[in-house]
Structure 1
Amino acid sequence: MEAYKFKTKVSENGTIVVPDGFDVKNKEVEVIILDEVVSFPKKMTGAEFVEKFAGVIQNIDADKAKWAYLKEKHNL
């Protein structure tokens, strides 16, 4: 089964219009309706992304980084 994704609006009478180019006539389809009220976190800037994920990008040893963080946090 092929999957297609598009945005459309349900009309007042409950009709969903499929955009041109989708040949779904006389075919059985599965419809999933998502309500777009969901709030997503704000988008990160490039600098924020690099700062947050710098350890992953640099391929540093996660265990050593965790130990260094804990030593500093707990004054060991």
Structure 2
Amino acid sequence: MEAYKFKAKVSENGTIVVPDGFDVKNKEVEVIILDEVNLGRPKKNMKEFLDKFSGVLEGIDPDKAKYDYLMEKHK
């Protein structure tokens, strides 16, 4: 199944117009609707994101953490 992505507006009567160039006539398609107004979560700017997650891995050696994980997993 090929995937196409385009933006459209739902009309007053609830129809969505597929743009020209998409040959989907008489084909079964899967429709996913995303409400771009909020998408169910608050939007954060980059500064808020960095403030929240900066220093999360401070003081952790990622190679040692991987080694410890693999040693524990394959005992």
Say whether the fold is shared (TM-score over 0.5). yes
Gaps of 5+ in 1: 56-60, 65-76
Percent of paired sites with the same residue: 73
Hey, what does 2:10 align to over in structure 1?
10
Gaps of 5+ in 2: 65-75
CA RMSD of aligned residues (A): 3.2
Alignment of 1:35-54 (within 5 A): 35-36=35-36, 37-38=38-39, 39-43=42-46, 52=54
Larger radius of gyration: 1
Aligned length: 56
TM-score by length of structure 1 reads: 0.54
TM-score by length of structure 2 reads: 0.55
Q: Which AA in structure 2 matches 1:28? A: E
Moved over 4 A (4+): none
Alpha-carbon distance, 1:42 to partner: 1.2
